[in-house]
């Protein structure tokens, strides 16, 4: 009996990915990077973009908000203002947004961190430490695990201070998979590895 299972064509897949990269990756598709001198400029600009990305995509913490007042407030008014400001900040935090998405999708926490290829301790830190901001790769891994659309992924990343950029090859590859509706983290990591990019998860 013939099987209806779709055979994964790795060559066709990589060909399609490379076509997407060539038409979306800033340093491949922009005409100013064509030719000998263009390639030199592309290398310099790419290095600068990647260095900038590496500086901002590590683990970090949100600083407490600094609030300035035009009129003096009483101690009680000041405390109330701080509480409201913090509540507003936490409401829009990465952690709070992530938990709302998981709840809305009726997903199990264990399934999500396993699909994201991250360990329980890291997921617990993200869930319980409301001001904690994960690395960009971790945030993307969670978006992939939740099978978010491109706009949903961008919104979640924004909560951690990140975005997907056409000037970062890693980001272009992630965009390709999301727009194709392919959320297999192992296939994503294979593609990232083949293009000498860091992989998702641990």
180 domain-assigned: yes
What pLDDT is attached to residue 25?
81
What pLDDT is attached to residue 113?
95
CA quadruple 160, 143, 178, 25: dihedral sign: positive
What is the pTM (predicted TM-score) of this model? 0.69
200 domain-assigned: no
More confident residue, 48 or 159: 159
More confident residue, 5 or 36: 36
What pLDDT is attached to residue 93?
87
Q: Rounded distance, CA 33 to CA 21, Å?
A: 14
89 domain-assigned: yes
161 domain-assigned: yes
Output the DSSP codes for 40-102: HHHHHHHHHHHHHHHHHSS-EEPPPPP---SS---HHHHHHHHHHHHHHHHHTSHHHHHHHHH
53 domain-assigned: no
Question: Mean per-residue pLDDT for 54-72?
Answer: 45
| Domain limits for position 67 | 58-195
Question: Mean per-residue pLDDT for 107-112?
Answer: 95
What pLDDT is attached to residue 57?
54
Residue length of the chain: 202
Q: Rounded distance, CA 144 to CA 130, Å?
A: 21
Q: Is the pLDDT of residue 46 over 70?
A: no
Q: Summarize pLDDT for 155-194 with one digit per residue, the tens.
A: 999 998 899 988 889 999 999 999 999 999 999 999 999 9
What pLDDT is attached to residue 175?
95
Q: Give the confidence band of 139 by pLDDT, cuts at 50, 70, 90.
A: very high
Q: Rounded distance, CA 24 to CA 60, Å?
A: 30
Considering only 56-60, 106-110, 188-192, which range has the smallest mean pLDDT?
A: 56-60
78 domain-assigned: yes
CB 200 within 8 A of CB 170: no
**Structural domain count, the chain:** 1
Pick the closest to residue 143 from 189, 112, 165, 104 (CA basis): 112
47 domain-assigned: no
Question: Mean per-residue pLDDT for 107-130?
Answer: 93
Average pLDDT score, the chain:
78
8 domain-assigned: no
């Amino acid at each position: 009996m013939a099987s209806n299972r779709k055979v994964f064509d790795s060559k066709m897949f990589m060909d399609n990915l490379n076509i997407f990269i060539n038409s979306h990756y800033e340093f491949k598709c922009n005409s100013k990077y064509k030719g000998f001198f263009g390639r030199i400029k592309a290398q310099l600009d790419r290095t600068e973009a990647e260095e900038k990305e590496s500086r901002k995509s590590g683990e970090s913490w949100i600083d407490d908000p600094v609030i300035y007042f035009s009129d003096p407030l009483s101690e009680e008014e000041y405390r109330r203002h701080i509480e409201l400001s913090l509540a507003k900040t936490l409401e829009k935090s990465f952690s709070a947004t992530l938990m709302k998405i998981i709840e809305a999708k009726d997903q199990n926490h264990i399934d999500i961190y396993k699909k994201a290829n991250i360990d329980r301790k890291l997921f617990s830190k993200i869930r319980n430490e409301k001001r904690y901001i994960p690395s960009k790769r971790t945030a993307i891994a969670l978006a992939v695990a939740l099978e978010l659309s491109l706009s949903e992924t961008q919104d979640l990343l924004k909560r951690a201070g990140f975005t997907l950029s056409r000037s970062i090859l890693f980001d272009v590859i992630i965009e390709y998979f999301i727009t194709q509706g392919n959320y297999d983290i192992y296939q994503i990591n294979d593609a990232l590895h083949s293009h000498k990019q860091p992989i998702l998860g641990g």
